[in-house]
């Protein structure tokens, strides 16, 4: 018996060892491979095809009444916000459990920009918080290889810029005035030579995805092993690769604080917890760079009370680098300010849920209404107590998916349009108006501060996480050309830990630590992902420096994807001032807007593209649909003018200062475009005033054009939502969820400064430097 007992113990010990080995074999990705940068197709776009882009702009300019002028600036289109699967979130979304397409390395971004989208320029902006030294080296080399294919440096077919994304990752419930929300910022560099770029990307600290603060190490290992086992035995390779990457990334050592950037180890993880630290480190390197805030109204990251005020504190804004703001991306528009509130002070000083107002319903309020619908026959006072408890517990849980989990057994449709910008154009999910472009342009925090206002040029880009730069040229392929992710059905069933519907809200203290993380591609989120926008520049040439000069000068505008042509100028006797200018004047201003709609698109791809890009790559990367302009332009229907008078005092009400639209002009429905001139007869020359314009095309179908696809009552309120599925039994991969919308372009503002401002030492004419 003793002998058999020893043998059994040894067998059990061996089994335990085998299980432990298997756990680490899977979770550590031992058989996994590092994803190299990929191979760029070494065949540039023909010169005559590139030159045709400029001829089209010239033809539009002539149609709008301007004489031909080959010395005039060109309009070039690009994307300054592109992720590859070197970004940790993009890597996760590429996995089979999320119906992912697999790896999209840096070479894919170059080929997509050149052949599929036919852009003039783009940048790579993977999340710095997870970029390893090897990935950063591969990124730099891929950008150089992309530029090497482009031909003549003075007239390239494509300009590739190097960059990264600085991504603040503090959970919303942990943010406060002492620990404020600063948002996400893309950092883009002029140069690509090794001696002219940082040795390491600079993030906002270790990302939460690989932090032991989100999951304990053993739980994180079990999760990674479980992902691999979930697709056993057919699909292990992608998980091996991811787990190898996750293991290597979690082993990175954070750079020491207070050390000059050139004295830090090359392979440490460099972080800057605030914008001030980021700007200081960029100053230490001394290389030309731009820092572009983006996605700031997206409630997945920003708390409900977030606004721009903390970034007006000393050193938190660098006007030399923060010249631009991304007003639209594939994650939604962030232009509009509305006086909507999620919380208000209660009688005891504790924040309580705000009531619906002007078409806006806070999600905390909606939580109470869901519980109210479940009250059944209970007494009214009992029901109302449950409703109030639900609202309070929702707020206590923070925001987003975690907060929604306090209401057991809900479906995404149950939340209707709560938290969303009522009537907004392709809005960001769970909209935060205090972080909008209009709020930032209008707000001031201190009277007499040296530089009291944010003066952003307005751009758009894609924020695509599949290396598809500028994917908004056609409204199709929702799951490939947007970031609409969803769990595969079998994985959705495995990870569904939601409680059954119940009559009362759950105590958020009882929710698991990872509540809200189980489904990163929820249907509600997926309905607010779009194909993305573009940045347009009025540049003196096609080369890198000409594009950079236009970006720094704010002679830029954004579009929601189509290549709309837009000019916006201040006219005076001496000269014409383009969008992005700061001009000192006390005279009544007169402006001119010229706009032409984008070309209608032919199906498929141009012959030049099919001749250069292998058929397999054309299908997998471009989905056999490329930028392929026809001969007719989509008419511009309307020009809208927004007037903003920035605050003179911090407590001046914004409702009186942001006028949107201030003026609106109907255009003839002709494809030749639209020309509008107007003046501001009520101009107050004693205060700063800014103007920008929107050019709206006639309505055309767009992916997720109506995110919630609501049925509405007579007052326009959403009473039933029909989200566009990204997974589950109702998911149809051929349904792009198209709804007609008015695609548009946003100009950069023109600022008119009173003479007293000029005396303070600021630039007074043209763009500020």
* 217-230 helix and 236-250 helix, angle to the nearest 10 degrees: 160
Contact predicate 136/174, CB 8 Å: no
Least confident interval from 171-175, 185-189, 192-196, 588-592: 171-175
Q: Is the pLDDT at 87 greater than 80, yes or no?
A: yes
Query: Ramachandran region of residue 711, left (φ > 0), alpha (ψ -120 to 50) or beta?
Result: beta
Pair 302, 437: CB distance under 8 Å: no
Name which of 14-18, 280-284, 314-318 the model is least confident about.
Answer: 14-18
CA 696 vs. chain centroid, Å, equals: 21
Q: Confidence band (pLDDT; 50, 70, 90) for 535? A: very high
More confident residue, 550 or 302: 550
DSSP 623-652: TT----EEEEEPPEEEEEEEEE---SSTTS
Which pLDDT tens digit goes with each residue over 142-166?
A: 999 999 999 998 999 999 999 999 9
Range ranked top by mean pLDDT from 342-346, 525-529, 664-668:
664-668
Say if CB 102 and CB 94 are below 8 A apart. yes
pLDDT digits (tens, 9 = 90+) for 100-150: 899 999 999 999 999 999 999 999 999 999 899 999 999 999 999 999 999
Check whether 4 has a pLDDT greater than 50: yes
Report residue 625 as tokens: 């649909």
Contact criterion met (CB below 8 Å) for 460 and 531 = no
Answer yes or no: is pLDDT of 1 > 90. no
Q: Report the percent of the chain where pLDDT is more than 90.
A: 64
Q: Round to the nearest angstrom and report the end-to-end CA distance of the chain.
A: 88
Compute the average pLDDT of residues 284-288. 97
Question: Tokens 């003018």 identify what position?
Answer: 641
Strand order in the sheet with 565-571: 576-578, 565-571, 590-596, 674-679
Query: In this model, does residue 74 exceed pLDDT 60?
Result: yes
Of 38-42, 300-304, 544-548, 611-615, minimum mean pLDDT range? 300-304
Whether 246 shows a pLDDT value over 90: the answer reads: no
Which range among 71-75, 80-84, 432-436, 622-626 shows the weakest confidence by mean pLDDT? Answer: 71-75
Quick: pLDDT tens for 325-338.
Answer: 999 999 999 999 99
Which of 43-47, 308-312, 508-512, 546-550 has the weakest average pLDDT?
508-512
Higher pLDDT, 24 or 491: 491
pLDDT at site 767 = 36
Instruction: Provide the CA 659 distance to its chain's centre, in angstroms.
Output: 25
- Residue range 251-276: mean pLDDT, rounded: 93
Mean pLDDT of the chain: 87
Smallest Cα–Cα separation from 197: which of 117, 140, 267, 248? Answer: 140
Of all residues in the chain, the percent with pLDDT exceeding 70 is 84
Q: Provide φ and ψ at 610, rounded to 5°.
A: -65, -25
Is residue 765 very low, low, confident or very high in pLDDT (cuts 50, 70, 90)?
A: very low
**Distances from the Cα of 298 to the Cα of 184, 304, 683, angstroms:** 10, 10, 34
Residue 746 contacts residue 328 (beta carbons within 8 Å): yes
Which residue matches tokens 């990872």? 514
Q: How far apart are CA 646 and CA 652, in angstroms?
A: 9
User: Whole-angstrom Cα distance, residue 502 to residue 525?
Assistant: 24
Helix (H, G, I), strand (E, B) or coil at 416: coil
């Amino acid at each position: 018996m003793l002998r058999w007992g020893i043998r059994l113990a040894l067998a059990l010990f061996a089994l335990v060892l085998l299980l432990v080995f298997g756990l680490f074999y899977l979770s550590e990705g031992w058989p996994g491979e590092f994803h190299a940068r990929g191979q760029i197709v070494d065949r540039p776009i023909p010169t005559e095809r590139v030159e045709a882009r400029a001829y089209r702009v010239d033809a539009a300019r002539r149609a709008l009444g301007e004489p031909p002028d080959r010395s005039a600036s060109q309009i070039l289109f690009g994307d300054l916000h592109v992720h590859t699967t070197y970004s940790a979130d993009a890597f996760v979304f590429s996995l089979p459990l999320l119906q992912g397409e697999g790896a999209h390395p840096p070479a894919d971004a170059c080929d997509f920009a050149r052949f599929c989208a036919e852009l003039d320029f783009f940048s790579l902006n993977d999340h710095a918080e997870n970029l390893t030294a090897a990935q950063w080296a591969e990124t730099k080399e891929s950008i150089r290889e992309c530029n090497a294919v482009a031909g003549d440096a003075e007239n390239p077919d494509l300009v590739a810029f190097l960059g990264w994304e600085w991504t603040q990752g503090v959970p919303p419930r942990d943010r406060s005035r002492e620990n404020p929300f600063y948002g996400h910022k893309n950092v883009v560099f002029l140069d690509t030579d090794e001696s002219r770029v940082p040795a390491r990307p600079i993030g906002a600290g270790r990302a939460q995805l690989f932090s032991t603060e989100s999951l304990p190490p053993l739980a994180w290992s079990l999760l990674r092993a479980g992902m691999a086992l979930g697709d056993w035995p057919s699909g292990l390779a992608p998980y091996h690769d991811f787990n190898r990457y996750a293991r290597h990334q979690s082993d990175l050592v954070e750079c020491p604080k207070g050390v000059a950037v050139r004295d830090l180890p090359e392979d440490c993880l460099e972080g800057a917890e605030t914008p001030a630290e980021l700007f200081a480190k960029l100053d230490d390197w001394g290389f030309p760079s731009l820092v572009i805030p983006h996605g700031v109204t997206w409630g997945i990251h920003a708390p409900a009370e977030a606004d721009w005020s903390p970034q007006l504190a000393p050193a938190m804004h660098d006007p030399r680098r923060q010249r631009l703001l991304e007003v639209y991306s594939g994650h939604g528009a962030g232009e509009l300010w509305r006086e909507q509130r999620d919380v208000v002070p209660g009688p005891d000083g504790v924040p309580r849920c705000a009531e619906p107002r002007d078409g806006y319903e806070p999600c905390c309020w909606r939580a109470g209404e869901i519980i109210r619908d479940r009250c059944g026959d209970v007494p009214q006072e009992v029901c109302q107590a449950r409703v109030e408890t639900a609202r309070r517990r929702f707020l206590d849980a923070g925001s987003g998916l975690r907060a929604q989990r306090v209401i057991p057994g809900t479906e995404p449709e149950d939340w209707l349009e709560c938290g969303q910008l009522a009537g907004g154009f392709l809005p960001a999910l769970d909209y935060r108006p205090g972080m909008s472009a209009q709020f930032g342009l209008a707000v001031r925090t201190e009277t007499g501060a040296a530089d009291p206002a944010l003066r952003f040029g307005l751009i758009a880009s894609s924020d695509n996480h599949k290396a598809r730069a500028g994917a908004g040229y056609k409204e199709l392929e929702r799951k490939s050309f947007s970031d609409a992710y969803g769990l595969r059905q079998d994985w959705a069933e495995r990870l569904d830990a939601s409680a059954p519907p119940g009559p009362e809200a759950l105590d958020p203290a009882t929710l698991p630590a990872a509540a809200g993380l189980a489904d990163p591609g929820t249907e509600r989120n997926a309905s607010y992902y779009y194909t993305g926008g573009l940045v347009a520049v009025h540049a003196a040439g096609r080369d890198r420096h000409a594009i950079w000069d236009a970006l720094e000068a704010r002679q830029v505008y954004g579009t929601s994807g189509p290549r709309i042509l837009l000019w916006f100028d201040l006219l005076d006797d001496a000269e014409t001032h383009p969008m992005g200018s700061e001009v000192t004047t006390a005279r009544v201003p007169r402006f001119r807007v010229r706009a032409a709609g984008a070309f209608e698109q032919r199906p498929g791809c141009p012959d030049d593209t099919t001749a250069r890009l292998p058929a397999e790559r054309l299908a997998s990367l471009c989905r056999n649909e490329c930028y392929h302009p026809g001969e007719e332009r989509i008419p511009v229907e309307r020009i809208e003018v927004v007037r903003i008078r920035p605050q003179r005092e911090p407590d001046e009400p914004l409702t009186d200062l942001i006028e949107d639209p201030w003026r609106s002009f109907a255009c003839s429905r002709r494809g030749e475009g639209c020309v509008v001139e107007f003046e501001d007869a009520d101009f107050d020359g004693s205060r700063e005033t800014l103007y920008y314009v929107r050019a709206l095309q006639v309505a055309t179908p767009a992916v997720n054009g109506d995110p919630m696809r609501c049925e509405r009552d007579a007052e326009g309120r959403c009473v039933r939502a029909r989200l566009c599925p990204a997974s589950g039994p109702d998911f149809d991969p051929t349904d792009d969820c198209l709804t007609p919308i008015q695609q548009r372009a946003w100009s950069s503002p023109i600022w008119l400064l009173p003479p007293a401002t000029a005396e303070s030492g600021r630039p007074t004419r043209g763009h500020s430097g």
